Amino acid sequence: MESTAVAESTDMDSPSNTPFILSRPHGTVIADGTRTQYDSTLAATKALRDGRATAIVGALPFDPAHPAALITPHVLRHEPGSWNGKSLRVPRIRIGSSLPTEAEHVARVAAALRELRAPDATLAKVVLARSLMLHADERLHPHALLGRLVAGDRGGNGFSVALGAAGSTWSGKHLVGSSPEVLIRRRGDVVSCHPLAGSAPRHNDPESDRRTGEALVVSEKNVREHALVVDALRASLAPLCTELDIPDRPTLTSTPQLWHLGTPVSGRLRDRSVTALDLAVAVHPTPAVCGTPTDAARRLIAELEGGRGFYAGAVGWTDSEGDGEWMVGIRCAEIDAQGTTIVAHAGGGIVAGSDPDDELAETTTKLGTILTGLGVQL
Ligand SMILES: C=C(O[C@H]1C=CC=C(C(=O)O)[C@@H]1O)C(=O)O
């Protein structure tokens, strides 16, 4: 559905006046005000194609059948470098419960492993996630968390997206995070992405840190887990590109909390009318957040976890030229309309060689991005 503008606040600090910010090392995209809202990705892609929308920004849900939170803003601004907004205070945060419990997450990984290891298994990979409830003593402004995430990330990655366009359940809520993973980027006819899959924790001791990273690049289990993501992207992008450059093996990349295997993919678009949003829709969800084969993995995720909302979806922008950038919606949290309940999410890819306790530990490490931003430790 497409609907026109929502009331904006006269309070200069109200997040509804800046419904979208994507901070990246090479520049920040900021949306001012909301002209049109779309809960349907199809309606948004059509509006962009027809020239009715000057830009589309926002969030795609994990499950493409669920409502999207997309808008056409009044103004879309590009600023150089990472976000440099006014710094706002983060209130005291208390850690609540894990959803599900840690024991239940381990049991779900074990259940997934039984399917992955069955003699007649069709499922090769599934990404299972858990959430952590957090409580703020006073209202947490989404841009306060964004500021801390951007400052804490070497590349200055961060995003804040108002989710109200997805319908009344999402009204006043925000998705805030610092994703290291580029789902898709389009500039002219150049398409690129940087899939990540395969992880290991960082260490304070430089020597152990270096050794852990080196072990990850040669870990066959992780390289296989990563290859499934690259294969899926190749299959989705090949029909849309005339050239596609994909290195044979992944390289090491890092966030302050984790080492990851990553593959820089680049290609040349066959048809310039295909926008960055079209490309995001074509490749999402990759096996970095869902699994292989996609439908079987999505079914198992729905059965074991229920709905994911916007976690493991995509966050980004597309302008009237069709250029844009969409990040994978990970290392993020939803902040409720009151700003006092925060739900952080983290998942990990499970393959036949995975270990349930290691997978639980990996989600804990990944939650560290949001926890550090909020100034708390598990
Ligand atoms: C699904 C998440 O991470 C993905 C991205 C990088 C590495 C991943 C992994 O090693 O499992 C995941 O595929 C998450 O952070 O919630």
Could you read off the pLDDT of 58-75 as tens digits, one per residue? 999 999 999 999 999 999
Mean pLDDT of 139-161: 97
* Single-letter amino acid, residue 105: H
Residue 200: predicted pLDDT? 98
Which residues constitute the domain of residue 295? 2-85+95-374
Compute, in angstroms, the gap from residue 115 CA to the centroid of ligand 1: 20
Atom 1 of ligand 1: nearest residue by CA position:
347
Task: Classify residue 154: in a domain, yes or no.
Answer: yes
pLDDT higher than threshold 70 for residue 109:
yes
- At 274, give phi and psi (nearest 5°): -80, 115
Strand partners, 24: 27
Residue 240: predicted pLDDT? 98
| Percent of the chain residues topping a pLDDT of 70 | 97
Residue 5: predicted pLDDT? 55
Pairing between β-strand 314-319 and β-strand 2-4 as defined by DSSP bridges:
unpaired
Q: What distance in Å separates the CA atoms of residue 156 and residue 29, rounded to the nearest whole number?
A: 13
**125 counts as catalytic:** yes
For the CA of 129, the nearest atom of ligand 1: 16
Choosing from 62, 130, 289 the residue with most ligand 1 atoms within 8 A of its CB, the one to mutate for a pocket test is: 289
Q: What distance in Å separates the CA atoms of residue 71 and residue 337, rounded to the nearest whole number?
A: 18
Residue 6's pLDDT band (boundaries 50, 70, 90)? low
Residue among 8, 79, 173, 181 flagged as catalytic: 181
Mean pLDDT of 204-211: 97
Buried b (16+ CB within 10 A) or exposed e, 44-57: bbebbeeeebbbbb
Task: Classify residue 359: in a domain, yes or no.
Answer: yes
pLDDT higher than threshold 70 for residue 51:
yes
For the CA of 349, the nearest atom of ligand 1: 11
195 ligand 1 Cβ < 6 A: no
What contacts 22, CB < 8 A, 6 or more positions away?
A: 28, 29, 57, 158, 159, 315, 316, 317, 325, 327
Residue 7: predicted pLDDT? 55
Residue 15's pLDDT band (boundaries 50, 70, 90)? confident
For the CA of 196, the nearest atom of ligand 1: 6
In this prediction, the answer to ipTM > 0.90 reads yes
Tell me if residue 315 falls in helix, strand or coil: strand
Residue 86: predicted pLDDT? 86
As for how many domains the chain has, the answer is 1
Task: Classify residue 258: in a domain, yes or no.
Answer: yes
Compute, in angstroms, the gap from residue 165 CA to the centroid of ligand 1: 27
Mean pLDDT of 283-312: 98
Mean pLDDT of 223-241: 98
Task: Classify residue 90: in a domain, yes or no.
Answer: no
Residue 166: predicted pLDDT? 98
Compute, in angstroms, the gap from residue 209 CA to the centroid of ligand 1: 19
The structure tokens 């000057």 sit at 54
Whichever domain contains 224, its CATH number is: 3.60.120.10
Q: What distance in Å separates the CA atoms of residue 261 and residue 197, rounded to the nearest whole number?
A: 6
Task: Classify residue 140: in a domain, yes or no.
Answer: yes
- At 322, give phi and psi (nearest 5°): 90, -5
Task: Classify residue 128: in a domain, yes or no.
Answer: yes
Q: What distance in Å separates the CA atoms of residue 334 and residue 344, rounded to the nearest whole number?
A: 7
Q: What is the CA radius of gyration of the chain?
A: 20
For helices 294-305 and 102-117, give the axis angle rounded to 10 degrees: 150
pLDDT higher than threshold 60 for residue 217:
yes
Residues in the chain: 378
- Report the candidate in 178, 261, 248, 180 with the shortest Cα–Cα distance to residue 213: 261
Residue among 46, 79, 125, 325 flagged as catalytic: 125
Mean pLDDT taken over the chain: 96
Q: What distance in Å separates the CA atoms of residue 20 and residue 223, rounded to the nearest whole number?
A: 35
DSSP H helical ranges for the chain: 41-50, 102-117, 142-152, 206-217, 220-237, 276-283, 294-305, 356-374
| Percent of the chain residues topping a pLDDT of 90 | 94
